Chain A
Amino acid sequence: MKKISLLLVVVLLVAVFATGCGGTKEAATDKVIKIGVFEPLTGENGGGGKQEVDGMTYANTVKPTATINGEEYKIELVVSDNQSDKTVAVTAANYLIDQGVVAVLGSYGSGVSIAAGEVFAGAKIPAMAASATNPQVTNTNDWYYRVCFLDPFQGTVVANYAVQNGAKTAAVITQLGDDYSTGLGNFFMDAFKKLTNNEDSIVATQTFQQNQADFNAILQNVKAANPDVLFAPSSITTAPLIIKQARALGITCPIMGGDTWENVSIIENAGKDAEGIILSTFFDAGLADSSKVAKDFVDGFSKAYYTPVPAVSALGYDAYMVMIDAIERAGATDGPSIQAALNATNGFEGVTGSITFDKFGDAQKNMAVIKTVKDGQFVFVKAVTIK
């Protein structure tokens, strides 16, 4: 027994060292620039983060080099997993800086982006969020940019859609301590109250903890309030649990979510209960015909990866392209030059629309897509433009 234990310990130690050493890479040649990919690959947002990284990796195959001052540089993506965790996020961000990246892309999930924002700002490295929609990501941070729309806009779009479809009361479920969920929930409530002209139109607000699995008690409160719609912005992990348990409890009203919900895993996990859920998102492949950039992306990405093309992959692609474009225009790889070039970005043609950054570093987007689930597929409902 003792010998076996000893052997086991030795094997484990060797394994630890082997994996530890596997991470290091040989010194980079001088013709390479490194771009950090700051995304969750594990944890509650792992599924969405992976799709966003796929968009960036695909962009890297489309445009593998950047020309800076007439010299061609190879672009290397350095991926760092922030594990959907605000504490790990800071470590993951520091890792990227240690690796010598000149710019950062990501993250999926606003909370981790806000947590790591100061690290990037402190190191004067520009960061480009692809699908982080909370205003705080960029508002107080001159080094953070984003290519997607913001939650105040998204909340208004969803509330608008609900009211147009006859909803007079709504219940809202958000995740305690999650900037994305809480923020979007609040913006939805504000817009909904304004649109219905009724301060009491939100009949129930409930919160839950990260990694909670049982929603019966809070859903029972929702059921007792009998709302016309239930808005539950939440992660891909949580959403199927809420949807399934709500339907099992006999809640029949439409269930609505935000951009995170556009993920096949929700349909796979919630099964037939996912039918009829409503969500807002950034992009629809069906709209791609109007733009050559979008059409090329949808064709290329579907061939190289999978269909349907997730909106976050399109945003990941745009984040990469707009960043490389800025680096080329800057003619240098130091932070301040790239920052200046990003600020000067004007009408960059991306897959998800034209990109111009405002004084906060937010791409000015005014179009969102409403989708639903029908026969186990995401189906386009309408595109909403708000000026």
Chain B
Amino acid sequence: MDASTFFQNCVTGISLGSAYALIAIGYTMVYGILRLINFAHGDIFMMAGYFTIFAIVDFHMPWYIAIIFVIIATVLLGVAIERAAYKPLRESPRMSIMISAIGVSFLLENSATYLFSGLPRAFPELGFLQKVYHIGDISAPIVTFITPVVTIVILIALIYLVNHTKTGMAMRAASKDFEAAKLMGIEINHIITITFVIGCSLAAISAILYFSPRPMVYPFSGLMPGLKCFVAAVIGGIGNIPGAVVGGFIIGIAETFLVASFPSLSGYSDAFTFVLLIIMLLFRPTGLLGEKIAEKV
């Protein structure tokens, strides 16, 4: 592998990893507060892709307004799902709410097939994002270079929010002990809503960044990225925000370099992600940055 190939692969891997990281944060935050693996998260990401298409292709919005529209629409969808499918089950065993999440995932996929047809739709160009940019031998759309920057900025903002604001304190309290936090007068429903708002807006941003260089959306678009980002969250230590970002980067970069180093295995990059998950669960089930917590039964 010569230098330019190596750097090109780095750019590709880091960019893919940052898009994964944004989705993984959504998984990890919801898990941190609710102890729920929100299996519908990948499908919310897919819906955000469709919202972008509607905004730009069907409603002819300028791209900067479209981005805001997509974030708002995705957040509304996510919060509505939380209210309708998760909130009524809050007192039920944890298994029920997880199965409800799987149900929501199927509901979203099949409604999308029914409403938007199973045919893939082209993802529109957003402003300058898809313009190809060259540095020496390396060439990629601008969005590829922007994605890691956006991810890092969002990560810093989130760490600040969690550690230095009142809402963040309430979030940490809720994730430590749900019941005690309630007794201390924390509006638990309010905190959960905020968590979903953040998770879904990140899914929306990620959808825009992910689909721009891979411009095709269909009802099962969210399936693979959703699963991979769940793996990313687990690898980083589920419940831990920087961990999710680290996990996302690891998967994105590892996947790219696997294909680059072993071209004959190029069809098996997905399988590799899940092998990584199995190894992680065998040797360090709490993830790279996760803390060891005794499970309360």
Taking Cβ atoms with an 8 Å cutoff, the residues of A that contact B are: 1-2, 5, 8, 41-44, 46-47, 83, 176, 204-209, 211-214, 216-218, 220-221, 223-224, 237, 240-241, 244-245, 247-250, 265, 268-269
B9 x A217 contact (CB < 8 A): yes
Contact check: which of A5, A213, A217 meets B84 at CB < 8 Å?
A: A5
Please give me the 4 A-B residue pairs with the lowest Cβ-Cβ distance, nearest first.
A42-B118, A176-B267, A217-B259, A207-B267
User: Across the two chains, which residue of chain B brings its CB closest to A173?
Assistant: B266
Question: CB-nearest residue of chain B relative to A176?
Answer: B267
B266 near A206 (CB under 8 angstroms)? Answer: yes
**Complex formed: what's the CA distance from A249 to B258 in Å?**
18
Residues of B at the A interface (CB closer than 8 Å) are 1-2, 5, 8-9, 12-13, 16, 84, 88, 113, 117-120, 122, 130, 132, 134, 137, 139-141, 213-216, 218, 220-221, 223-224, 255-260, 263-264, 266-267, 269-270
Nearest opposing residue in chain B for A219, CB measure: B12
**Contact between chains at B1 and A224 (CB < 8 Å):** yes
Find chain A residues with CB under 8 A from B269 CB: 209, 217
- The residue of chain A having its C-beta at the shortest distance from the C-beta of B218 within the complex is A237
When distances are taken between beta carbons in the complex, the residues of chain A under 8 Å from B16 are 214, 216
Contact present for B218 and A248 (CB under 8 Å):
no
> Which residues from B are CB-within-8-Å of A42?
113, 117-119
A43 and B263 alpha carbons, distance in the complex (Å):
27
Q: How far is the CB of B274 from chain A (nearest CB, A)?
A: 13
| 29 A/B residue pairs, CB under 8 Å, sorted by A | A2-B88, A5-B84, A5-B88, A8-B84, A47-B119, A83-B118, A176-B267, A204-B263, A205-B263, A205-B264, A206-B263, A211-B220, A211-B223, A217-B13, A217-B255, A217-B256, A218-B266, A220-B9, A221-B263, A224-B5, A240-B216, A241-B214, A241-B216, A245-B213, A248-B141, A250-B139, A268-B122, A269-B215, A269-B216
How many angstroms from the CA of A238 to the CA of B263 in the assembled complex? 19
CB distance from B45 to the nearest CB of A (A): 12
CB within 8 Å for A46 and B119 given contacts A247-B132, A248-B213:
yes
Q: Is the CB of A244 within 8 A of B122?
A: no
**Chain B: CB-nearest residue to A50:** B119
For A214, what are the chain B residues with a Cβ–Cβ distance below 8 Å? Answer: 16, 213-214
Q: Which one of B5, B130, B255 contacts A220 once the chains associate, using CB atoms below 8 Å?
A: B5
A216 is contacted by which of B122, B215, B256, B267 (Cβ under 8 Å)? B256
With a CB–CB cut-off of 8 A, which chain A residues contact B2? 224
Shortest beta-carbon distance, A379 to chain B, in Å? 22
Q: How far is the CA of A306 from the CA of B88 in the complex (A)?
A: 51
Is A208 touching B266 in the complex (CB atoms < 8 A)? yes
Q: How far is the CA of A250 from the CA of B134 in the complex (A)?
A: 9
Q: Contact at B88–A1, with CB atoms within 8 Å?
A: yes
Interface centre among B88, B119, B130, B215 (most CB of A within 10 A): B119
- Rounded to whole angstroms, the CA-CA distance of A44 and B263 in the bound complex is 25
Complex contacts, A204 vs chain B, CB 8 Å: 263
Cβ contacts under 8 Å, A43 to chain B: 118
A73 to B1, CA, bound (A): 67
Residues of chain A within 8 A (CB-CB) of B5 are 220, 223-224
Residue pair A218, B263 in contact (C-beta under 8 Å): yes
A204 to B122 alpha-carbon distance, docked (Å): 29
CB distance from B48 to the nearest CB of A (A): 15
Say whether B266 contacts A207, CB under 8 Å. Answer: yes
On whether A220 and B12 interact (CB within 8 A), knowing A211-B224, A241-B215, the answer reads yes
Residues in chain B near residue A1, CB distance under 8 A: 88
Contact A208 B267 (CB under 8 A): yes
- Minimum CB distance partner of A216 in chain B: B12
Question: How distant is the Cα of A13 from the Cα of B33 in the complex, in angstroms?
Answer: 33
**Which chain A residues border B267 with CB–CB below 8 Å?**
176, 207-209
Residues in chain B near residue A241, CB distance under 8 A = 214-216
A246 to chain B, nearest CB (A): 11
Tell me the bound Cα distance from A248 to B120 in angstroms: 21
The residues of B that contact A248 with a CB separation of less than 8 Å are 130, 132, 139-141, 213
Instruction: Provide the bound-state CA to CA distance between A319 and B118, in Å.
Output: 25
- Determine if B118 and A249 form an interchain contact, defined as CB atoms under 8 angstroms apart: no
Q: Which residues of A contact B119 (CB under 8 A)?
A: 42, 46-47
* Complex Cα gap A43–B109 (Å): 13
Given A211-B223, A220-B9, 18 more A-B residue pairs with CB atoms under 8 Å apart are A46-B118, A46-B119, A47-B119, A208-B267, A209-B269, A209-B270, A212-B224, A214-B213, A216-B16, A217-B9, A224-B1, A224-B2, A224-B5, A248-B213, A249-B140, A250-B139, A269-B215, A269-B216
Looking across the interface, which residue of chain A has its beta carbon closest to that of B83? A1
CB distance from A78 to the nearest CB of B (A): 20
Inter-chain contact A249/B214, CB cutoff 8 Å: no
Known contacts A206-B263, A209-B270, A237-B218; is-contact A269 B122 (Cβ 8 Å): yes
Which A residues are CB-close (under 8 A) to B218? 237
Query: In the complex where A42-B113, A248-B141, A249-B140 touch, is A237 in contact with B122 (Cβ < 8 A)?
Result: no
With A44-B120, A248-B213, A250-B134 known as contacts, the answer to whether A221 contacts B220 (CB < 8 A) is: no
Max chain A Cβ within 10 angstroms of own Cβ: one of B5, B13, B137, B266 = B266
Q: Which residue of B lies closest to A175 (CB)?
A: B267
Partner of A221, one of B88, B132, B213, B260: B260
Whole-angstrom distance between the Cβ of B150 and the nearest chain A Cβ: 18
Measured between alpha carbons, how far is A250 from B139 in the docked complex, in Å?
Answer: 6
Docked complex Cα distance between A243 and B113 (Å): 26
- A177 to chain B: closest residue by CB: B267
B132 contact set on A, CB distance < 8 A? 247-248, 250
CA distance A59 to B109 in the complex (A): 35
Q: Smallest distance from the beta carbon of A247 to chain B beta carbons, Å?
A: 7
CA distance A206 to B268 in the complex (A): 11
Partner of A237 from B12, B88, B120 at Cβ < 8 Å? B120
Q: How far is the CB of B41 from chain A (nearest CB, A)?
A: 17
The smallest beta-carbon distance between B15 and chain A, in angstroms, is 8
- In the docked arrangement, what's the CA distance between A243 and B117, Å? 24
Q: Give bound CA distance, A125 to B260, whole Å.
A: 47
CB proximity of A373 to chain B, nearest CB, Å: 16
